[in-house]
Chain A
Amino acid sequence: MKENRRTFLKAFGLGSGAILSNPGFAFDTSGTNLEDIKSNLDVFARRQMETDVLIAGGGMSGICAALAAARNGAKVILIQNRSRLGGNASSEIRMHISGSSTLGQGWRETGILEELMLTEAAVNQQTCYEVFDYVLYDKVFSEKNITLLLDTMLFDVSTEGNRVSMIKAYCSQTEELYEISAKLFSDCTGDGTLAAIAGAEFMRGREAKSKWNESLGQDQADDVTMGSSLMFQAQKHDRPMPFVAPSWARKYTFTDFVHRRISAYDYGYWWLELGGRVDIVKDIINDGQRLRDELMAVMFGVWDYIKNSGNHPDSENWALSWFGMIPGKRESRRIVGDYIMVQRDTQTAPLFEDRVAYGGWPLDDHLPEGMDDTSQKPNRAIHLKGPYSIPMRCLYSKSYENLFMAGRNISVSHVALSSCRVMATCATLGQAAGTAMAYCLDNSITPAILCNTTQHIQKLQQILLRQDQSILGVQNNDENDLARKASVRASDEAPDHPASKVIDGYNRDVRDGNTHQWQASMNGGEPWIELSWDNAQTLSTVECTFDTGLNRYLRISPSQAVLAMNQVRGPQPETVSDYKLEAIHNGKTVYEKFVTGNFLRKVVHAFPTVKADAIRLTVQKTHGDELAKIFEIRCYQA
C-alpha cells in the first residue's frame, strides 16, 4: 500500500529542507526500498527550473515586479500561493487599492498600476470582482517572459554564502514539487516568508520612540503589529431577508460602535479587525487559524447586530452576498535593507538620491486589539503634507546580495509602514524592484552597488520614468530621447498649454505652478502636434503619455460610495482615444499607424526602423474631453 501524501512530502523536505537525503525516516515500515520512492514520483512530479528572476508572491507588488522585470528583458518565474493573483486586492479578500490619491493633490500612482487600473475600468463595466482577477491574470499570463505558477506554496529556501540559490515550492492541485534556481530573488510575499526561511535579517513589531526618534513609536518596543480584517458584501432585495446568527458569532451592542461607524451595508468595514496582538506569522498553525475563526465570529456578529439589534431597521431587506475567509493582513515581517525608512522621512519627505517611488497615504496605525476593545478608537490617521520618496535601499536585503523585496515587507519602521503599506504604493515598489532587478542583471551589479553609484541610480530612475513610474523631483534627462532635441509645433494650442510642453521633461502635473501638457481644441477638427528635426533621425519607437485624470481616484471597490467618489468608471474622458501617428521624411509619410479605442496613459509604438525628419500625431477623438491633451512624446532610435 502506498504511503500517504504527508509522509511522502516529508521525504521531499517539506519543512526540513532535505531532498531524499534520509528517506528512511519518512516511512513507518522497516526495510525501506528506494524503488518505492522512485515509483511514487509518478504521483508527485518534481520540476527543476532555472530562471533569471524568481518572484515569490502574486499580490500587487509581485505582479508589478514580475511585469517590470519581464518587460525589461529578464526571464521571470512568479509563484503565487492562491489560485488568483492580486493578494489583498483580489476577489478573495476585496480590499480596494488605496494610495496617494488620498492627498487630494493629484498624486494618483502611474506606471504599471495605472495600466492595470485603466484596463480594469475599461473592460469591467459590470464591476465584477472576478473580472479584476482576470485582468491581472491576463496581463501576467500574456507577458512572454513570465512563467506563472498558481497555487504554488513556497516551503524552503537554499542559500550559498551571501546569495540565495534556490527555492522549493509545492502545488497540491497539480501535484508538483518545484525546485527553482534563479540569479535574483524577490520576496513579495507580504509576510517576508522567503527572507525569513533564508535567514535574512528582518524586523517585527513596534519599535520604541527612542530607537529612531519617532514620536509615534511606543514607550517600549514590543512585538505587536497591525491586525487583519475580513470584508463582506451585501445586497438589497425586494423583501425582508431574515438572518439568524450562528452560535459562534460575537454579540455586539450600540456602545460597541461609538468609534466605528456603520455607514452603509453594501461593503464591510476596515475596522472589522483583529490580531495585532497575535503573532499570526510565527505561530501559524495555532493562532493563524484561530484568528481567522475569530474574525469570522466578529464579522457575523457585526452583521447580526445590523440585522437583529433593531437599531438598523433599514437593513431589513439586505442580505449577505459575499464574505472573505482569508484575513486581509496589514503587517507581518519587515525585511532589513541598507536603509530603514522611518516616520520623519514620511513627514519631511527628503529627496533621497536613490529614490524610486513615492508614498502619500497618512501615517495610519491601527489599534492592535481591533474589535477586542471597542471602547478605543480603531485607528489614528495623521495626514501628510504631500508625497514622500522611498529609496531603493529599502528594497533589497542587507543579508543576501541577490534578494530583493517589495510590498508591505520592505525595510521600514513600523510607523513608516503604517503609511507605505497600502497597495498602490506597494505596486509602485514592485515596479521599482522589478526594474532594478533587470537593470542589475544587465549590468552585472548587485543592488548595493546600484545604490552606491550615482550614474547607475540615475540611469535606473530614467528607465523607471520612461516606463511611467513617477519619482518626485526627477524629470526626463534621457539623452537617447530624440524628442528632446526636436522643434515642436501644433495646429492649435490652448492658452498656457503650448506644444512645447510635450518635451518639457514632465509627464504629469506636479503642483509647481506650471502646466505640463499640450492642449488643443477638438472643436475645430482634428488637431495635430509635430516634432521635427533639421536632420533626419533614425527612429523605431515613439512613446506617448496621455491624460487620464490623475486628480481623481481609479479603482474597483465593493463599495458603491467609493466607486462614486471622484471616480469615472470606464475609459477616462481626458484620454485620447483615436489618433494617427506618422513618421515623415522629406514630406513623405514613411510610417503610419492608426489607433482606435485607446484608454491607456502610456502607449509605446515600436515599428521597423525608419529615417524621418518629423513625427506627427493627429488626434481624432477623445473619450469625451473637448480638448486633446498630451503630456509627453518621446522618440527613440531603438
Chain B
Amino acid sequence: MSAYAFIFPIFSSNSQSIEEGHYQQEEVFIHQAKGSAEAEVKLLSDQSGNPVMYTSHLISAVCSDGICKPIDIHLYWDLLGKFYRYQTSDEEELTKFDHEPFTEEDHARLHEILSDENSILQDYEVEDLIDTDRKLHSDEIDGVTGATNITFRDASVEGAMYTVYTLWHFINGDVRNKIFAHTKSLLSESLIRYMLQSEKGDYHNFIFNNLSDSQRKKFAPEIISLISSKDIYTPHFAIQQLTDDVLADSIHQAAVLEQFASVPPVVQNSLLARIESQPIYNVGIRALLESVPQLASNQLDRVFLIIGRNKASIDKLNMKALKNLTLQPEKDFSYFAERILDQVSDSSNP
C-alpha cells in the first residue's frame, strides 16, 4: 500500500484543462504500441525550460464485434512515465456501448483505472474479460456484446471495455519505459533540483536512487528540507541520503535538527537513529532539548543517550535548558535531565 498513489490529486473532467500552448513542446520519440497506430510522444517544458510532462495525441480505433469506434484523446504522463491524466475534446467524446457518452462518474472511474499500474488488465487478453454467458443487446447496432466478468468489474467501465483495455495498455505499456529512460538522459543539476523541490514522492525517490555521494553533498539543502515533506516516506528516504560528511557540517546539521520538533514521531525516530553516533553541536543539542517536553516516553531514552554522548556541546544555554527541565519533577524527562546534569557536574569537578 504505497503512499504515492494518494499524493497525486485525481483530476475530474471539471478541473482546469491543460493548455498545451503554455508549454514549449519537443517531439522526443515515436511510439508504436502493439496493435495501435503510431503516436508521437512530446515533452512539455515550462518557460524556464524545466521538463514538466510528456504528452501524446492518440488517434486510433477500438474495434469489437466487428464495430469500430474512433478514439481521439490527449494523454499525459509525468516525468517518470506514470500516467497523469487524459483530455478529450467536446467533438471527440468517449463513448460506451450504443454510443452513450461517458458520464462524469465514468470519466472519474476511467482515470482511476488508467492510473492503476498494477491493474489486472495486464494479465488477461481482452476477450477473457467478457462473461460469455451474459450478453447485452444493442438496439442501435443490432447486435450483442458481452458483459464484463465480475472479477474485472473494478477494472473497467461497463460498456466501454475495449476502449478501457486499449487505453490502459497504451498508457502503461512500453511507452513508460521509454519516457523514464528519456528523463534519465535529461538529468541535469537544474532537473535534479526541480524534482527535489516538487511535491511528488516518486520524483524524490527517483533522484535519491540516482545521486552520487558528491551530489548528496551538493544538494544537501534540498534533501534536508524534504525531512519536513508531507509524504509518508520521503522524510525517511531523505534522512537516508544524509551522509556523515553532511551531518558533520554545522550549518547542515542545524538545518536538519531545527526540524526535529515539528516532524511526526516516526520521522523523529528515524532522525534519532541516524544521528545516534554522530557528533552533535550546540545548536543541535538545543533543538533536541526544546523538543523534549513533547516527546513520548519511549523517545526520551534515545534523545538523552545522544545528549549524554555529546556533553562537550552542553554550553551555557543548554545547561539552562536542562535545568528548566528538572523544574517539573513529576515528569519522566525531569529524571533524565537530572542524570545528565549529574554527569556534567561530575566531569567538571576538579
Q: Taking beta carbons and an 8 Å cutoff, which residues of A are in contact with B?
A: 105, 215-216, 253-255, 258-259, 261, 309-311, 313, 316, 347-348, 363, 380, 382-386
**Contacts A215-B123, A216-B123, A310-B302: A255 and B273 contacting too (C-beta < 8 A)?**
no
Q: Quick check: A258 and B233 within 8 Å, CB to CB?
A: yes
Which residues from chain A contact B298 at a C-beta distance below 8 Å?
A: 310, 313, 316
Which residues from chain A contact B342 at a C-beta distance below 8 Å?
A: none
CA A347 – CA B125 in complex, angstroms?
A: 10
Q: Quick check: B149 and A258 within 8 Å, CB to CB?
A: no
Q: Quick check: A382 and B123 within 8 Å, CB to CB?
A: yes
**Contacts A215-B123, A258-B2: A311 and B269 contacting too (C-beta < 8 A)?**
yes
Q: Quick check: A255 and B120 within 8 Å, CB to CB?
A: no
**Contacts A254-B266, A254-B269: A385 and B149 contacting too (C-beta < 8 A)?**
yes
**Contacts A313-B298, A348-B128: A254 and B236 contacting too (C-beta < 8 A)?**
yes
Q: Quick check: B151 and A385 within 8 Å, CB to CB?
A: yes
B240 at the interface (CB under 8 A from A): yes
Which residues from chain B contact A215 at a C-beta distance below 8 Å?
A: 123
- Across the interface, A310 reaches (CB within 8 A) one of B123, B124, B236, B296, namely B296
B141 at the interface (CB under 8 A from A): no
CA A604 – CA B2 in complex, angstroms?
A: 52
B49 at the interface (CB under 8 A from A): no
Which residues from chain B contact A386 at a C-beta distance below 8 Å?
A: 149, 151
CA A348 – CA B124 in complex, angstroms?
A: 9
- 11 pairs, A vs B, C-beta closer than 8 Å: A216-B123, A253-B270, A254-B236, A254-B269, A255-B236, A258-B233, A311-B265, A313-B298, A348-B128, A383-B151, A385-B152
Q: Quick check: A313 and B296 within 8 Å, CB to CB?
A: yes
B23 at the interface (CB under 8 A from A): no
Q: Quick check: B299 and A347 within 8 Å, CB to CB?
A: no
B237 at the interface (CB under 8 A from A): yes
Q: Quick check: B128 and A385 within 8 Å, CB to CB?
A: yes
Which residues from chain B contact A385 at a C-beta distance below 8 Å?
A: 128, 149-152
Contact with A along B256-286 (1 / 0, CB 8 A): 0000000001100110010000000000000
Closest 9 CB pairs of A and B: A310-B269, A385-B151, A382-B123, A255-B236, A311-B266, A310-B298, A254-B236, A385-B149, A383-B151
CA A258 – CA B123 in complex, angstroms?
A: 24
B1 at the interface (CB under 8 A from A): yes
**Contacts A254-B266, A313-B296: A261 and B1 contacting too (C-beta < 8 A)?**
yes
Q: Quick check: B273 and A347 within 8 Å, CB to CB?
A: no
Which residues from chain A contact B269 at a C-beta distance below 8 Å?
A: 254, 309-311
Which residues from chain B contact A313 at a C-beta distance below 8 Å?
A: 265, 296, 298
**Contacts A311-B265, A311-B266: A384 and B151 contacting too (C-beta < 8 A)?**
yes
B185 at the interface (CB under 8 A from A): no
With both beta carbons as reference points, the residue of chain B lying nearest to A254 in the complex is identified as B236
Q: Quick check: B237 and A255 within 8 Å, CB to CB?
A: yes
Cβ < 8 Å to A, chain B residues 101-120? 118, 120
Q: Quick check: A255 and B123 within 8 Å, CB to CB?
A: no
With both beta carbons as reference points, the residue of chain B lying nearest to A104 in the complex is identified as B150
With both beta carbons as reference points, the residue of chain B lying nearest to A258 in the complex is identified as B233
CA A392 – CA B264 in complex, angstroms?
A: 57
CA A522 – CA B273 in complex, angstroms?
A: 65
With both beta carbons as reference points, the residue of chain B lying nearest to A309 in the complex is identified as B269
With both beta carbons as reference points, the residue of chain B lying nearest to A382 in the complex is identified as B123
CA A216 – CA B265 in complex, angstroms?
A: 41
CA A255 – CA B237 in complex, angstroms?
A: 7
CA A258 – CA B237 in complex, angstroms?
A: 11
CA A494 – CA B254 in complex, angstroms?
A: 77
In whole Å, how far is B241's beta carbon from the nearest beta carbon of chain A? 12
Q: Quick check: A253 and B236 within 8 Å, CB to CB?
A: yes
Which residues from chain A contact B152 at a C-beta distance below 8 Å?
A: 385
Q: Quick check: A259 and B265 within 8 Å, CB to CB?
A: no
Which residues from chain A contact B149 at a C-beta distance below 8 Å?
A: 385-386
In whole Å, how far is A501's beta carbon from the nearest beta carbon of chain B? 22
Which residues from chain A contact B273 at a C-beta distance below 8 Å?
A: 253
CA A385 – CA B265 in complex, angstroms?
A: 43
CA A188 – CA B194 in complex, angstroms?
A: 59
In whole Å, how far is B266's beta carbon from the nearest beta carbon of chain A? 5
With A310-B296, A311-B265 known, 12 other A-B pairs at CB within 8 A are A253-B236, A253-B273, A254-B266, A255-B233, A258-B233, A310-B265, A310-B298, A311-B269, A313-B298, A363-B123, A382-B120, A385-B150
Which residues from chain B contact A258 at a C-beta distance below 8 Å?
A: 2, 233
The residue in B128, B151, B152, B266 that gathers the most chain A C-beta atoms within 10 A of its C-beta is B151
CA A216 – CA B118 in complex, angstroms?
A: 13
Q: Taking beta carbons and an 8 Å cutoff, which residues of B are in contact with A?
A: 1-2, 118, 120, 123-124, 128, 149-152, 233, 236-237, 240, 265-266, 269-270, 273, 296, 298-299, 302
**Contacts A310-B302, A383-B151, A385-B149: A254 and B270 contacting too (C-beta < 8 A)?**
yes
CA A216 – CA B302 in complex, angstroms?
A: 47
CA A261 – CA B123 in complex, angstroms?
A: 25
In whole Å, how far is B264's beta carbon from the nearest beta carbon of chain A? 10
In whole Å, how far is B275's beta carbon from the nearest beta carbon of chain A? 14
With both beta carbons as reference points, the residue of chain B lying nearest to A383 in the complex is identified as B151
With both beta carbons as reference points, the residue of chain B lying nearest to A511 in the complex is identified as B150
In whole Å, how far is A11's beta carbon from the nearest beta carbon of chain B? 55
CA A259 – CA B233 in complex, angstroms?
A: 11
In whole Å, how far is A381's beta carbon from the nearest beta carbon of chain B? 10
CA A183 – CA B124 in complex, angstroms?
A: 44
CA A384 – CA B302 in complex, angstroms?
A: 49
CA A158 – CA B120 in complex, angstroms?
A: 47
Which residues from chain A contact B302 at a C-beta distance below 8 Å?
A: 310
CA A624 – CA B261 in complex, angstroms?
A: 57
In whole Å, how far is A319's beta carbon from the nearest beta carbon of chain B? 16
Which residues from chain B contact A310 at a C-beta distance below 8 Å?
A: 265-266, 269, 296, 298-299, 302
Which residues from chain B contact A383 at a C-beta distance below 8 Å?
A: 120, 151
The residue in B149, B266, B296 that gathers the most chain A C-beta atoms within 10 A of its C-beta is B266
Which residues from chain B contact A255 at a C-beta distance below 8 Å?
A: 233, 236-237, 240
In whole Å, how far is A526's beta carbon from the nearest beta carbon of chain B? 39
CA A386 – CA B152 in complex, angstroms?
A: 11
In whole Å, how far is A209's beta carbon from the nearest beta carbon of chain B? 13
CA A386 – CA B118 in complex, angstroms?
A: 20
Which residues from chain A contact B123 at a C-beta distance below 8 Å?
A: 215-216, 347, 363, 382
Which residues from chain B contact A254 at a C-beta distance below 8 Å?
A: 233, 236, 266, 269-270
With both beta carbons as reference points, the residue of chain A lying nearest to B272 in the complex is identified as A310
In whole Å, how far is A509's beta carbon from the nearest beta carbon of chain B? 15
CA A255 – CA B267 in complex, angstroms?
A: 11
In whole Å, how far is B248's beta carbon from the nearest beta carbon of chain A? 22
In whole Å, how far is A214's beta carbon from the nearest beta carbon of chain B? 11
In whole Å, how far is B155's beta carbon from the nearest beta carbon of chain A? 10
Which residues from chain A contact B150 at a C-beta distance below 8 Å?
A: 105, 385
In whole Å, how far is B304's beta carbon from the nearest beta carbon of chain A? 14
Which residues from chain A contact B120 at a C-beta distance below 8 Å?
A: 382-383
CA A255 – CA B269 in complex, angstroms?
A: 12
Which residues from chain B contact A253 at a C-beta distance below 8 Å?
A: 236, 270, 273
Which residues from chain A contact B2 at a C-beta distance below 8 Å?
A: 258-259
Which residues from chain B contact A382 at a C-beta distance below 8 Å?
A: 120, 123
Which residues from chain A contact B265 at a C-beta distance below 8 Å?
A: 310-311, 313
Which residues from chain A contact B1 at a C-beta distance below 8 Å?
A: 259, 261
CA A372 – CA B217 in complex, angstroms?
A: 29
With both beta carbons as reference points, the residue of chain B lying nearest to A261 in the complex is identified as B1
With both beta carbons as reference points, the residue of chain B lying nearest to A380 in the complex is identified as B118
Which residues from chain B contact A105 at a C-beta distance below 8 Å?
A: 150
CA A309 – CA B272 in complex, angstroms?
A: 10
Which residues from chain A contact B266 at a C-beta distance below 8 Å?
A: 254, 310-311
Q: Quick check: B151 and A347 within 8 Å, CB to CB?
A: no
In whole Å, how far is B34's beta carbon from the nearest beta carbon of chain A? 13
Which residues from chain B contact A348 at a C-beta distance below 8 Å?
A: 128
In whole Å, how far is A363's beta carbon from the nearest beta carbon of chain B? 8
Which residues from chain A contact B236 at a C-beta distance below 8 Å?
A: 253-255
In whole Å, how far is A361's beta carbon from the nearest beta carbon of chain B? 13
Q: Quick check: B128 and A347 within 8 Å, CB to CB?
A: yes
In whole Å, how far is A418's beta carbon from the nearest beta carbon of chain B? 12
In whole Å, how far is A375's beta carbon from the nearest beta carbon of chain B? 9
With both beta carbons as reference points, the residue of chain B lying nearest to A512 in the complex is identified as B133
